[in-house]
């Protein structure tokens, strides 16, 4: 390289600037990957994309009009995830309700094992678009459940169907899957101490 | 008739036989290489859509490849072709942008129609919950009254066939011990979920394929228009035995279904009774071997040697050879954080008692004790 | 128009003073774009053979029904490792290698803009793959959850070696990102005077777009594996429903990376073919401008089609329709490219040297893969195709006779420039025909298998699939072993052969053909004078 490029120093400066910008872009996209998580949650909540139900909903009797003209069938399912050994089932398998009507049902759980366990119920609604119209004012799924060996419990669920539910949605399924979260519960507990 | 035309009727006959044979052969051939037409309105629409798109693509292919091959032959340098000097033409670029868009629109319209059909959410007559497990399907009939009918559907092909020791049966790897049974001409809704990882439930003849996702519920539906046995497989990679969890559905007449269903309800009641029956050691070991082969041998292996470290050996295992309570506990409740599942909901007390007795007294172990179904029932209630 | 001018070679005499260092340190410390390009290409060839070996294990097991050679769990490790090694070890590094070698030569730059980083981005790659491959020898076994590593199979249910996999992915990602920054900086800052954007060779254009795609999506891949790492080791619940997460979210994030990734593997291939076809048709590339716009629109569309991989996960109908329509749209710019290539050949003066054979096969077979891609975009039909061998056939048609053929075409095309020797044309043609026949025998029957109902990623299958699996396996062995011939041809050419001229090909045009063959260690230390129409 006997002939120096006259603009070499200028070129190398612009390289590092451009490289820095591109690097920042890459870091930004790494962050964007994580931002996708809350975006997805919000998106799901709006569209009911994955059948996740919303959190606790306040029932204001004044605002809700009970629609006596029609009935919606709500089907309850209970299942265990791998590693969860409790007996877990709905007290009633199916119920018919008027939109707007506050209804209480319960789920039965029984720890048949030899050790205390912590369970977390995860709700899911099908068809997905029905998720927006199912409001829970009280649910055992809002908290983890701890059962001693042999202990059993009736867990309440208070819900109502939104009066704006489309006419063609006459039946919806509310499923709970019970997960064993004993390990992570113990971890959090020991971290807290 | 002139003598020389005598062969014509014979020729016509021969031709028609040949055409018939060819048609049958073509049909067999189609079955081996093309999408099944299936037995539902949706599956037929899907097949028609598939054929429509295939034919459009084939026609485009004929034109594109035709021009390409013709150019390659015609404009060979070895034939003295001199290259022309043109390298752009906006009009033609616009033409071959617009024409494909029009073709795509013509494909999108019927596709949208079929998709709307699939998403029909009108009321069903029968609801069935399908749960994917590593590596079997559970079918639960969602009836709001009476005894619940729920069972597991396991691969029925033997390990000997897979290993090549026995001759492979006709429905090798697509046969199960208990198929799903549904009535014909009835809208059946499937609610799908999974116990562990994502599975996917597929019956090609129904054109139903839906993912079963742990913690979430998915739905699909079918109106089968013909009776018969229809086979499919799990289509989402779900671990070691992903290739060994087939789906078999039997579509039967409505009356037959009613009979079958009430029989299953009675059986469910009978299992409770069977549990109370006296069982001998030999009966339990014999029953236990069947259960072990179906539920345990995929991981712990037929000879009990396991596949350490993921799947420990049964032979000389501390748990199997230790106090029976501990053995019962791990079978009923599984071992958290490992691949060992809780079998309390997958197996009835008879099977659990049998497999525990078998494991303690076979596979190189000889503890010499046994446990009865009634004791298992008590252990479950504790 | 073929206008190979001669550039006054300022460079030849410099070679004496600034030649390569001797021995191993030359390769370890090198900052020379040609050395690094060669390193990438050799590395990619090794990975191609390794990934190919994994594929042959798969096809061996699938030769007949029944389990004959491997356990199902090891089979899953093979499918996973085959995918990872081929995508991240063979195809991507090969294109980075070609880019390293050719981009500076094509735009008249003395070297890459950031030579030291260039050295780094190559040398971390062997470590990533050594780490990944080492899991094969560990007790827990290699990753066995597929190259798409869906949660929770890859988190809660994964073998303990998943952590090695995650770090290997991080390193590969870092390597790709550094490589892309370098390529963008080179193209944007170091073009010779007069080399405007719309005069750049199409290979440079496609690489510029690819590099931006890489910077946009490789960090998302890094993000998704980081989330997995946290779920596995630090108790978070990104993908675990028990803690409020969602396994389907994994698929969304993964495919947000994954679909652009598919185009990362094919856009540079478009570039290569757009260089080769004009050369051997002795005619300028038809529709240069529209090629650039088509490539850009494909890159843009790749960001809004990801959920077409997830039609069966259960989506609202509006979602299915959106992703179906947007996916179908990709056929338009892709079609434009194919039409342009054919128009380039139309009324040309065509000869069929090995690079041209591979390029023509690329156009034919990639188009076939495009047709099946269009079929897969149709959501209701996809319910039947999804996760069957039809999908396997589709993506292998776009990746093997697509990406891999274009890489081979590129190697044959530029090998004389790199080594100064002509490769053995007879053997090259033999290699092409063996590969061409092998690939079709291998993958064409898989369309039938998929339509007839054979799921992918299974180690054993029902009896009605036996015939076509056997044919497919025979094709696999034919194709696989033909590649040993490729290795032989390349080594033979490196060691010697008929001396190549400066312009190598009769119809060649572009700056890379205006330096001597072999290209001197340093080229364009002073910017060249640009001939007219250097792009096509």
* Cα(C536)–Cα(C533) distance, integer angstroms: 6
Through-space distance between the first and last CA atoms of chain C, rounded to whole angstroms:
8
* Cα(C386)–Cα(B235) distance, integer angstroms: 8
Q: Which of A51, A113, A150 lies closest to B333 in CB terms?
A: A113
* Cα(B271)–Cα(B281) distance, integer angstroms: 19
CB hemisphere CA count around A12 (13 angstroms): 9
pLDDT attached to residue C249 = 92
Contacts of A15 in chain C (CB under 8 A): 113-114, 185, 189
pLDDT at B110 over 70: yes
- Decide if C391 contacts B209 (C-beta within 8 A): no
Q: Tokens standing for A182? A: 């004993």
How many other C-beta atoms lie within 10 A of the C-beta of residue C30?
A: 20
- State whether residue A111 sits within 8 Å of chain C by CB: no
How many other C-beta atoms lie within 10 A of the C-beta of residue B228?
A: 12
Shortest distance between the Cα of A22 and any Cα of chain C, in A, equals 6
Contact C181 A23 (CB under 8 A): yes
pLDDT tens sequence across C468-505: 999 999 999 999 999 999 999 999 999 988 999 999 99
pLDDT tens sequence across C271-282: 999 999 999 999
Identify the helix (H) or strand (E) that includes residue A103. Answer: strand A103-110
Q: pLDDT category, B100, cuts 50, 70, 90? A: very high
String of DSSP letters for C117-131: HHHHHHHTHHHHHHH
- Decide if A53 contacts A159 (C-beta within 8 A): no
Q: At what angle do helices C425-452 and C389-398 cross, to 10 degrees?
A: 150
Q: Tokens standing for A88? A: 């877990």
How many other C-beta atoms lie within 10 A of the C-beta of residue C250?
A: 26
* Cα(C221)–Cα(C173) distance, integer angstroms: 8
pLDDT attached to residue C416 = 96
C308 is catalytic: yes
Residue of B nearest to A178 (CA): B215
Tokens 């996702």, residue? B213
Shortest distance between the Cα of A180 and any Cα of chain C, in A, equals 8
Shortest distance between the Cα of B142 and any Cα of chain A, in A, equals 8
Average pLDDT over residues B369-375: 81
Contact A26 C215 (CB under 8 A): yes
Point out which residues pair with B250 in neighbouring strands.
B181, B229
* Cα(C59)–Cα(A171) distance, integer angstroms: 48
pLDDT tens sequence across C181-193: 999 999 999 999 9
ipTM above 0.85 for this complex: yes
- State whether residue A35 sits within 8 Å of chain C by CB: no
Contacts of B191 in chain A (CB under 8 A): 77, 126, 173, 175
C372 is catalytic: no
Shortest distance between the Cα of C500 and any Cα of chain B, in A, equals 21
User: B330 burial class (0-12, 13-18, 19+ CB within 10 angstroms)?
Assistant: middle
* Cα(B137)–Cα(C1) distance, integer angstroms: 65
C309 is catalytic: yes
E strands along chain B, which residues?
126-133, 136-141, 149-153, 180-183, 187-194, 199-203, 208-212, 218-223, 228-233, 246-252
Average pLDDT over residues B138-150: 84
- State whether residue A126 sits within 8 Å of chain B by CB: yes
- In degrees and rounded to multiples of 5, residue B207 shows phi and psi of 55, 40
Average pLDDT over residues C380-400: 95
String of DSSP letters for C20-46: PPPSHHHHHH---HHHHHHHHHHHHHH
pLDDT tens sequence across B237-291: 999 999 999 999 999 999 999 999 998 888 877 776 776 677 778 888 888 888 8
- State whether residue B324 sits within 8 Å of chain A by CB: no
C337 is catalytic: yes
pLDDT attached to residue A4 = 40
String of DSSP letters for A88-104: EEESSSEEEE-TT--EE
- Decide if B320 contacts A88 (C-beta within 8 A): no
Contact A124 B334 (CB under 8 A): no
C147 is catalytic: yes
* Cα(B251)–Cα(C496) distance, integer angstroms: 70
Contacts of B157 in chain C (CB under 8 A): none
Contact A125 B143 (CB under 8 A): no
Contact B195 A80 (CB under 8 A): yes
- Decide if C115 contacts C33 (C-beta within 8 A): yes
pLDDT tens sequence across C339-354: 999 999 999 999 999 9
Identify the helix (H) or strand (E) that includes residue A79. Answer: strand A72-80
Contact C150 B81 (CB under 8 A): no
Contact B111 C288 (CB under 8 A): no
Laid out side by side, the sheet with A171-180 consists of A94-97, A72-80, A171-180, A117-126, A145-147
Q: Which of C139, C329, C360 lies closest to B309 in CB terms?
A: C139
Through-space distance between the first and last CA atoms of chain B, rounded to whole angstroms:
95
String of DSSP letters for C41-65: HHHHHHHHHHHHHHHHHHHHHTTSS
Q: pLDDT category, C9, cuts 50, 70, 90? A: very low
In the set C59, C259, C431, C447, the catalytic residue is: C259
pLDDT at C203 over 80: yes
How many other C-beta atoms lie within 10 A of the C-beta of residue B270?
A: 12
- In degrees and rounded to multiples of 5, residue A82 shows phi and psi of -55, 140
C431 is catalytic: no
Shortest distance between the Cα of A119 and any Cα of chain B, in A, equals 13
Contact C190 A11 (CB under 8 A): yes
C456 is catalytic: yes
In the set C30, C79, C154, C175, the catalytic residue is: C175
Q: Which of B36, B83, B89 lies closest to C281 in CB terms?
A: B83
Going residue by residue through chain A (193 aa), what tens digit of pLDDT does each one get?
A: 333 444 444 455 578 889 999 999 999 999 999 998 888 888 777 766 666 666 667 666 667 778 888 889 999 999 888 878 788 889 888 899 998 888 899 999 888 767 788 899 988 888 888 888 888 888 888 888 888 887 888 999 988 888 888 888 888 899 999 998 887 776 666 655 4
Contacts of A52 in chain B (CB under 8 A): 216
Contact C215 A36 (CB under 8 A): no
pLDDT tens sequence across B160-193: 899 988 899 999 999 999 999 999 999 999 999 9
pLDDT attached to residue B3 = 53
* Cα(B68)–Cα(B111) distance, integer angstroms: 30
The dihedral built from the CA positions of residue C510, C516, C521 and C527, taken in this order, carries a sign that is: negative
Contact C378 B49 (CB under 8 A): yes
- State whether residue C289 sits within 8 Å of chain B by CB: yes
C82 is catalytic: yes
C334 is catalytic: yes
* Cα(B333)–Cα(B344) distance, integer angstroms: 6
Residue of C nearest to A28 (CA): C219
Contact A126 B381 (CB under 8 A): no
- The helix/strand/coil state of C103 is helix
Tokens 């699996």, residue? C469
- Decide if B158 contacts B171 (C-beta within 8 A): no
C259 is catalytic: yes
Using only the alpha carbons of chain B, give its radius of gyration: 29
Identify the helix (H) or strand (E) that includes residue A147. Answer: strand A145-147
pTM for the full predicted model: 0.87
* Cα(B37)–Cα(C100) distance, integer angstroms: 51
Contacts of C253 in chain A (CB under 8 A): 33, 36-37
Q: Which of A19, A27, A42, A142 to mutate to test the interface with C (most CBs of C within 10 A)?
A: A19
- Decide if B155 contacts B173 (C-beta within 8 A): yes
Of the listed ranges C17-26, C112-121, C415-424, the one predicted with least confidence: C17-26
Contacts of A18 in chain C (CB under 8 A): 113, 181, 184-185, 188-189
C16 is catalytic: no
Of the listed ranges A103-107, B27-31, C137-141, C307-311, the one predicted with least confidence: B27-31
- Decide if B240 contacts B135 (C-beta within 8 A): yes
């Amino acid at each position: 390289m006997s002939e120096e490029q006259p603009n070499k120093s200028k070129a190398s400066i612009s390289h590092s600037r451009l490289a820095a910008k591109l690097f920042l872009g890459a870091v930004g996209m790494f962050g964007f990957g994580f931002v996708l998580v809350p975006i997805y949650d919000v998106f799901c909540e709006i569209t009911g994309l994955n059948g996740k139900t919303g959190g606790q909903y306040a029932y204001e009797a004044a605002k809700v009009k009970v629609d006596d003209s029609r009935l919606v069938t709500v089907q309850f399912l209970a299942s265990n995830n791998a590693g969860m050994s409790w007996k877990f089932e709905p007290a009633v398998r199916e119920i018919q309700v008027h939109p707007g009507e506050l209804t209480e049902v319960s789920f039965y759980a029984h720890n048949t094992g030899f050790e205390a366990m912590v369970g977390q119920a995860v709700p899911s609604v099908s068809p997905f678009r029905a998720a927006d119209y199912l409001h829970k004012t009280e649910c055992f799924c809002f908290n983890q459940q701890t059962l001693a060996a042999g202990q059993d419990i009736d867990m309440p669920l208070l819900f109502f169907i939104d009066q704006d539910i489309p006419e063609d949605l006459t039946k919806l399924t509310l499923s709970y899957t019970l997960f064993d979260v004993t390990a992570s519960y113990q971890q959090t507990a020991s971290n807290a101490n | 008739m002139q003598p020389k035309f005598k062969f014509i009727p014979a020729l016509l006959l021969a031709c028609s036989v040949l055409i018939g044979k060819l048609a049958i052969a073509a049909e067999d051939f189609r079955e081996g290489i093309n999408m099944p037409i299936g037995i539902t309105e949706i599956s037929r629409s899907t097949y028609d859509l598939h054929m429509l798109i295939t034919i459009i693509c084939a026609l485009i292919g004929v034109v594109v490849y035709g021009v390409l091959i013709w150019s390659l032959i015609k404009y060979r340098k070895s034939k003295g072709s001199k290259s022309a000097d043109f390298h752009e033409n906006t009009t033609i670029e616009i033409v071959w942008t617009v024409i494909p868009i029009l073709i795509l629109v013509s494909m999108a319209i019927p596709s949208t129609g079929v998709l709307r059909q699939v998403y029909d959410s009108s009321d069903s007559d029968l609801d069935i919950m399908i749960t994917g497990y590593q590596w079997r399907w559970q079918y639960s009939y969602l009836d709001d009254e009476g005894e619940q009918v729920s069972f597991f559907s396991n691969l029925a092909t033997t390990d000997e066939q897979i290993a090549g020791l026995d001759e492979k049966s006709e429905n090798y790897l697509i046969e199960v011990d208990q198929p799903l049974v549904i009535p014909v001409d009835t809208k059946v809704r499937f609610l799908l979920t999974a116990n562990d990882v994502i599975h996917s439930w597929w019956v090609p003849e129904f054109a139903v394929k839906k993912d079963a996702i742990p913690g979430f519920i998915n739905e699909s539906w079918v109106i089968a228009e013909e009776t018969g046995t229809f086979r499919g497989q799990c289509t989402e990679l779900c671990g070691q035995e992903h290739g060994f969890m087939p789906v078999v559905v039997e579509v039967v007449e409505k009356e037959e279904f009613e009979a079958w269903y009430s029989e299953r309800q009675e059986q469910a009641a009978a299992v409770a009774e069977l549990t109370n029956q006296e069982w001998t050691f030999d009966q339990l070991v014999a029953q236990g071997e069947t259960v072990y082969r179906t539920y345990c041998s995929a991981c712990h292996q037929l000879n009990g040697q396991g596949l350490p470290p993921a799947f420990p050996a049964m032979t000389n295992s501390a748990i199997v050879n230790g106090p029976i309570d501990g053995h019962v506990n791990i079978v009923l409740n599984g071992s958290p954080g490992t691949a060992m599942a809780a079998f309390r909901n997958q197996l009835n007390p008879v099977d659990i008692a049998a497999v525990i007795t078998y494991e303690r007294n076979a596979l190189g172990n000889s503890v010499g004790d046994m446990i009865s179904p009634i004791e298992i029932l008590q252990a479950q209630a504790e | 128009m073929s206008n190979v001018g001669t550039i006054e070679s300022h460079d030849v005499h410099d070679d004496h003073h600034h030649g390569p260092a001797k021995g191993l340190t030359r390769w370890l410390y090198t900052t020379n774009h040609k050395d690094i390009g060669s390193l990438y290409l050799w590395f990619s060839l090794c990975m191609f053979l390794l990934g190919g070996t994994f594929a042959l294990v798969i096809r061996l097991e699938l030769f007949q029904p029944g389990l004959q050679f491997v356990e199902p769990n090891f089979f899953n490790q093979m499918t996973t490792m085959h995918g990872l090694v081929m995508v991240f070890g063979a195809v991507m590094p090969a294109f980075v290698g070609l880019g390293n070698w050719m981009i500076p030569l094509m735009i008249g730059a003395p070297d890459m803009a950031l030579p030291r980083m260039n050295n780094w981005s190559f040398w971390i790659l062997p470590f990533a793959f050594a780490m990944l491959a080492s899991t094969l020898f560990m007790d827990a076994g290699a990753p066995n959850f597929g190259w798409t590593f869906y949660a929770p199979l890859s988190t809660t249910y994964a073998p303990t070696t998943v952590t090695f996999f995650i770090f290997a992915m991080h390193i590969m990602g870092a390597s790709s990102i550094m490589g892309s920054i370098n390529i963008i900086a080179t193209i944007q800052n170091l073009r010779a005077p007069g080399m405007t954007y719309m005069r750049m060779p199409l290979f440079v254009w496609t690489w510029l777009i690819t590099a931006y795609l890489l910077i946009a999506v490789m960090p998302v891949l890094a993000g998704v594996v980081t989330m997995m790492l946290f779920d596995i080791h630090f108790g978070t619940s990104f993908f675990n429903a028990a803690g409020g997460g969602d396994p389907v979210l994994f698929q969304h994030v993964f495919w947000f990376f994954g679909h652009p990734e598919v185009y990362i593997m094919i856009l540079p291939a478009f570039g290569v073919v757009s260089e080769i076809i004009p050369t051997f048709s002795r005619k300028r590339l038809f529709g240069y401008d529209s090629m650039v716009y088509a490539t850009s629109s494909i890159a843009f569309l790749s960001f809004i089609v990801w959920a077409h991989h997830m039609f069966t996960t259960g989506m609202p109908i509006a979602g299915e329709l959106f992703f179906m329509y947007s996916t179908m749209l990709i056929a338009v710019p892709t079609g434009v490219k194919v039409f342009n290539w054919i128009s380039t050949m139309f009324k040309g003066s065509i000869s069929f040297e090995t690079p041209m054979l591979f390029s023509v096969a690329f156009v034919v077979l990639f188009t076939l893969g495009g047709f099946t891609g269009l079929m897969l975009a149709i959501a209701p039909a996809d319910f039947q195709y999804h996760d069957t061998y039809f999908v396997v056939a589709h993506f292998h048609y776009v990746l093997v006779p697509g990406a891999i053929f274009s890489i081979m075409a590129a190697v044959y095309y530029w090998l004389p420039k790199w080594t100064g020797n002509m490769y053995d044309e007879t053997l090259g043609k033999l290699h092409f025909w063996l590969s061409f026949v092998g690939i079709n025998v291998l993958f064409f029957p898989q369309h039938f298998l998929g339509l007839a109902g054979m799921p992918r990623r299974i180690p054993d299958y029902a009896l009605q699939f036996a015939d076509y699996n056997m044919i497919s396996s025979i094709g696999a062995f034919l194709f696989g072993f033909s590649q040993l011939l490729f290795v032989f041809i390349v080594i033979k050419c490196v060691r010697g052969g008929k001396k190549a001229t400066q312009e190598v090909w009769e119809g060649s045009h572009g700056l890379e053909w205006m330096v001597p063959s072999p290209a001197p260690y340093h080229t364009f230390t002073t910017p060249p004078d640009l001939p007219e129409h250097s792009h096509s």
